[in-house]
Each structure stands twice: as structure tokens, then as C-alpha cells.
Amino acid sequence: MSLFVQKYGGTSVGTVERIESVAEKVIKFREQGHDMVVVVSAMSGETNRLIGLANQIQENPDSREMDVLVSTGEQVTIALLCMALKKRGYDARSYTGTQVKILTDSAHTKARIQDIDVSNMRADLDAGRVVVVAGFQGVDEHGNITTLGRGGSDTTGVALAAALKADECQIYTDVDGVYTTDPRVCEGARRLDKITFEEMLEMASQGSKVLQIRAVEFAGKYNVPLRVLHSFQDGPGTLITLDEDFSDMEQPVVSGIAFNRDEAKVTVAGVPDTPGVAARILAPIGAANIEIDVIVQNASADGTTDITFTVHRNDLEKAKTVLGKVCADVNAREVIADDKIAKVSIVGVGMRSHAGVASKMFDALAEDNINIQMITTSEIKIAVIIDERYLELAVRSLHKAFGLEAIEN
């Protein structure tokens, strides 16, 4: 007998019929003798409906009240799921974030979990009840309702699994697992049976949207085995665990190819090459709350240098405004912006122990005449910035070059 925490997203509970299907699924596990804690999101569309009401009043409404408003979405779902379970003769009890209680800081709309009181849930599990918890929400020390930010229901699931020392946290989604890359871009994309937290984290931060980064971080930190599954199809999904769980010597060097089109590139060209100049350029960007991803600095012969970095496309205009001023301050020649770029990354813990991964990647791209504009690496990832037009081609080439079609599941 195991303890499972299952999380069902908005699409999985989007109608009363689907909530009833979720109840059936939960009961299947219950019948196998497992203890069940179920975390649910708001019914799809509901959060947007509530935000729409608020926006009729004001574009940026008070964040405390925003949390009071949107937290009702999950509260509706927990009640309906418990009704569906009880109708089928299974005892169940719903919990809001306040009722659990999931203690967070007071950063409304983006609160962080500080502590989870498991006593009520534990008592219910001991009494044979299914515990149903509203995802995405908590309560601060003053009793104010907080939310963890959109997608925070994954984090709720993992945090509950960690606090309850669950055997597995199962995230039910609209895909049947984590893929070597996006099947819509690359036909040969294949579902992975297993992937490490580290790899999943790189995949997520490089653009794979299957799981929230924060939930993966949390799962890694507390070593909560995480499984991604399809809500309406049977299948083993993808298990995300610690490195050491991989005893398979045949583990491939690269596990997956991630990509995104969300970034834009900015170059401050002809900067006098003096110590501290990079900091003088980047500090105002940070001060303007613009996040920087890849940074490259090219030293040059004529005593000037070019500093290039990428930001989120939504921040490009703001970045250009900030840099216009900085450019004059540091006597740079000009600011060049390009939002027609894409980032492609290869990710794999196997890269640690395998040489020649980078050159294989660059060879594959060169063979297709794809120019690499920027490169950044970590221990288990190599990311390149390329012209957006070549994105799909690059993903397919790399997928093939690293033999990902051939992974046996």
C-alpha cells in the first residue's frame, strides 16, 4: 500500500463529466489499497473568467483581493470532486489552502510555501478518506488567502507529497509523458520512461511546458518521485527521479531537445573595453526587473567590445529604452535588437561523462547550414541561439544526430 498525491489540471476537471472521470480514476487507485491525496486546479476557463471580472474594475487590481477572488476557482472544484467521490460511496473531504493549512509568505499572487500542516490530512487518510486539496493557494500567518501564481497547482502537489512523504506525486496533464522533444515539431519524438530532476529542470527552463519549473525544483530538493501522466489515457507516463535511480548503462548521452521562441537578442556594440563595463550595462537592466538569459561578450582588437544578451520578447522594448540611456553613458556605438531568434538546447545527464557532445551538436547544425549566433552551456545542457526560421530544422537534425528516435521505451 502506497500513498499517492495526484494532481489534475484545469483541463482534466474542465466539466462536471470530467470531474466524475477523475473520481473514477482516483477510486481505481483507492481500490488497489492506496492512500490518496488529490490536488485540483480550477475548472478550465474559470480563472480567466474571474480575472475578467476583476479587470472590468481595474487593470491591476489589489493583489490581496485578487487572491481572495481567484482562489474560489479551486474551491469549487474540490467540492465537486468530493461530491462525485461520495456519490460513488467513497468517503472524501475537501480542503482549501487555509484549511490544510498551507502556510505561505504574504507575497500575494506569487506566494511561496513555508510550511504544511499535515495533521488533518493524516487523520483523514487514517480514517480511510480521500483527501482533496485546492491547488495553487495557501494562507499567510495573518489568515490572508494567498496564491502561488498560475500553474502553482503542480507546486502544491509536490509540496504535499514532500510533507506527507508520499511514495509518488503524479501530475495528470494533457500529454502522456515527457518527450524527447515536441512531437509537433519532430515526428520522431518519443516518450521517455525516466528522466532526472536536473534534466527535467533544464528541459522546463529551456522551453518544455510539461511541468512548472518551480514544481520540479521542489521535487528535486525534497526527492519526491514525480510522474507525468495523461488524464484520460492509460499509460506509464514519465517518471522523474534522482540521478542514482538510473542504473541503465545504456542511458543515452542526450535525453531531450528543448526549444523556445520567447527570447529576443540585444547587442550593445562598440563598447570601450574597460573593466566593469559589462556590469555598468547590465545593472540598469536588472534594476528594471528585466531577466537576462544568455550573455556573450566578444573581446576585440580595436579596444572595443560587443556585449550581447537575450531577454524575454515582452521585455525587448523596455530593454531598448533602458539601453538607449546606458549606451550614451558608456560611450557605446549602438544598440542592435533582434527578436527573430530562437533557442535550441540539448539536455542530458550523460553529457557529464561523454566528450564531444558539443562538437557533435555544432556539426549537425553546420551540416544544415544553420548559423550559431550565441552559445551557452551548463554541465548537462548546451543551448544555442539561432535564426528563428531554422528552429524546426535544427530540432529535427539534433534529434536525429543524438539518436533519440532509437531510444527503447
Residues 288-327 close enough to bind a copy of itself by CB under 8 A: none
Q: Which of 3, 51, 68, 401 touches a copy of itself by CB under 8 A?
A: 68
**Closest by CA position to 308, among listed 317, 319, 318:** 319
Least separation, in Å, of the C-beta of 56 and a copy of itself?
Answer: 4
Tell the smallest beta-carbon distance from residue 126 to a copy of itself (Å): 16
Among 6, 47, 75, 206, binds a copy of itself (CB under 8 A): 75
Could you tell me the smallest distance in angstroms from the CB atom of residue 171 to a copy of itself?
24
Q: In this structure, are residues 134 and 74 in contact, taking their beta carbons and an 8 Å threshold?
A: yes
Quote the least distance from Cβ 65 to a copy of itself, whole Å.
4
Minimum CB separation of residue 47 from a copy of itself in Å reads 12
To the nearest whole angstrom, how small is the minimum distance from the Cβ of residue 154 to a copy of itself? 22
The cell numbers describing 168, all together, are 509518488
Site for a copy of itself in 77-106 (CB under 8 A): 78-80, 82-84, 86-87, 93-94, 96, 98-99
C-alpha triplet 393, 396, 400: angle, nearest 5°? 140
Q: Does 69 bind a copy of itself (CB under 8 A)?
A: yes
Amino acid type, 326: V
- Told to check if 66 binds a copy of itself by CB under 8 A, we report yes
CA dihedral 342, 212, 382, 290 (to 10 degrees): 60
**Site size toward a copy of itself, by CB under 8 A:** 37
Cell numbers found for residue 15? 466539466
Residues 36-65 close enough to bind a copy of itself by CB under 8 A: 50, 53-54, 56-58, 61-62, 64-65
Judged by CB under 8 A, which of 143, 250, 302, 325 binds a copy of itself?
143
Please report whether residue 118 would count as binding a copy of itself according to CB under 8 A.
Answer: no
Shortest distance (Å) from residue 20 CB to a copy of itself = 7
In the complex, the residues that contact a copy of itself under the rule CB under 8 A are 16, 19-20, 50, 53-54, 56-58, 61-62, 64-66, 68-69, 71-72, 75-76, 78-80, 82-84, 86-87, 93-94, 96, 98-99, 120, 143-145
